[in-house]
Amino acid sequence: MAKKISFSSDYTKGAHPRILERLAETNFDQQPGYGTDDICKSAAEKIKKACNAPQADVFFLVGGTQTNQTIIDMLLKPYEGVVAAQTGHVAAHEAGAIEFSGHKVLTLNSFPEDSNNSKAVYSDQVGKIMAKDLRALIDGFYADDNHEHMVFPGAVYISHPTEYGTLYSKAELEEISAICREKKIPLFLDGARLGYGLMSRRTDVTLEDIAKLVDVFYIGGTKVGALFGEAVVFTKGAPTAHPVPIIKQHGALLAKGWLLGLQFDTLFKDNLYMDISKNAIDMAEILRAKLEEKGYPIYIDSPTNQQFIVMEDDKLSVLAEHVGYGFWEKTDENHTVIRLATDWATTKEDIEELMKWL
């Protein structure tokens, strides 16, 4: 039986072939452990240059939840929590990893009203936090006479793209950043799908903007061309003199750390990370046009590689036989929202194969 094609997520395939080639080429080169090798240094330099952030500290960790947990634990004092959208990954889908390390997630509403008149049920604002809500939370906290009995807002977490594929505008990031700086609260941007955000046709945000506006962010590798790995960038230097024992304590210090460096060193050579991210966007745009053409209701007006449509369950069961998709939620008894994600390796043929069954 032929292998079923899948659009269920952007982490279903291995790595960009150049990464595999380089793994093979360097396989018997011997490297020192724990990220102290020259390949990690080279990758960090390339990333700092791409970010125009010469003063940055760059670390490489293995996966998203691990990275979120470790960074947030580095940022917060014991009595502080992290502010996040209620739909943010750290709030909703990390099995309590933040609380496991002792910190509360302070949530903001992330289903803002649709002000865009988009044809989607949810506009391109869903999944984001609003600057005014952030300010209200912080000001409300300090205005409360009892705030020493409450959890201090000690860091702000945003994802870009969000878990719903949506993006902050540069103006929005600037506004959130300004609040964080005014309140001396570090701003952390989860870029698990950062490439797909940067290459969106509907963004005015660059990598350099992000490096300038946030205190720490990570460049996702797992979902963008790497076997695994996330590159953490503390834009103004790490908040601790001893990141290694903290990373080790979280079980996050990879023995063969150069495997992470090698992947990012490859992705940040010759613009590869951006090029393959652009592929996912190009394919998503083609996909979206075809979906609209066929009349599928768009559920979220996503400008990135994740597309969300509403399907009748009868048609969905036909689709399920031939193509993998991501279940999102039920809208009523007979309809389901599904996610279709393109990635760095999706081809036009893949889209055509998918459309055959839609």
Q: Kindly identify the residues of this chain, within the stretch 68-97, that bind a second copy according to CB under 8 A.
A: 69-70, 73, 77-79, 81, 92-97
Q: With CA atoms as reference, report the closest residue to 47 among 275, 276, 234, 304.
A: 234
CB atoms within 10 A of CB 56: 19
Q: How far apart (Å, rounded) are the C-alpha atoms in residues 275 and 267?
A: 9
State the nearest-atom distance from the C-beta of 101 to a second copy, in Å: 8
State which of positions 173-212 bind a second copy (CB under 8 A): none
Name residue, tokens 């048609």: 315
Whose Cβ is closer to a second copy: residue 94's or residue 172's? 94
Under the binding rule (CB under 8 A), the answer on residue 250 touching a second copy is: yes
Q: Identify which of residues 178 and 252 has a Cβ nearer to a second copy in the complex.
A: 252
Closest CB 85 distance from a second copy, rounded Å = 15
CA distance 14 to 4: 16
* Beta pairing class for 230-234 and 57-61: antiparallel
CB of 66 to a second copy, least distance (A): 3
What is the signed CA dihedral for 264, 22, 282, 277, rounded to 10 degrees? Answer: 0
Q: Between the CA of residue 28 and those of 14, 20, 22, what are the distances in Å?
A: 21, 14, 11
β-bridge pairing 335-341 and 326-332: antiparallel
- The answer to whether residue 222 forms part of the interface with a second copy (CB under 8 A) is yes
Piece in contact with a second copy (CB under 8 A), picked from 4-12, 45-53, 123-131, 332-340: 4-12
Q: Interface residues for a second copy in 138-177 (CB under 8 A)?
A: 145-146, 148-152
Helix (H, G, I), strand (E, B) or coil at 43: helix
Among 1, 2, 30, 54, binds a second copy (CB under 8 A): 30
Pick the binder of a second copy from 53, 253, 311, 341 (CB under 8 A). 253
Query: What mask, x for binding a second copy by CB under 8 A, covers residues 273 to 312?
Result: ----------------------------------------
Handedness of CA 160, 231, 86, 140 (dihedral sign): negative
φ, ψ at 53 (rounded to 5°): -135, 75
Nearer Cβ to a second copy (227/274): 227
| Cβ count within 10 A of residue 31 | 18
Question: Does position 28 bind a second copy by CB under 8 A?
Answer: yes
Q: Total number of residues binding a second copy (CB under 8 A)? A: 79
| Interaction between residue 20 and a second copy (CB under 8 A) | yes
Rounded distance between C-alpha atoms, residue 346 and residue 51, angstroms: 27
CA angle 122, 130, 95 (to 5 degrees): 75
319 contributes a contact to a second copy by CB under 8 A: no
Indicate the residue among 127 and 303 with the shorter CB distance to a second copy. 127
List 14, 132, 313, 356, residue binding a second copy (CB under 8 A): 14
Stretch that binds a second copy, among 20-28, 44-52, 205-213, 293-301 (CB under 8 A): 20-28
Tokens of 71: 């960074």
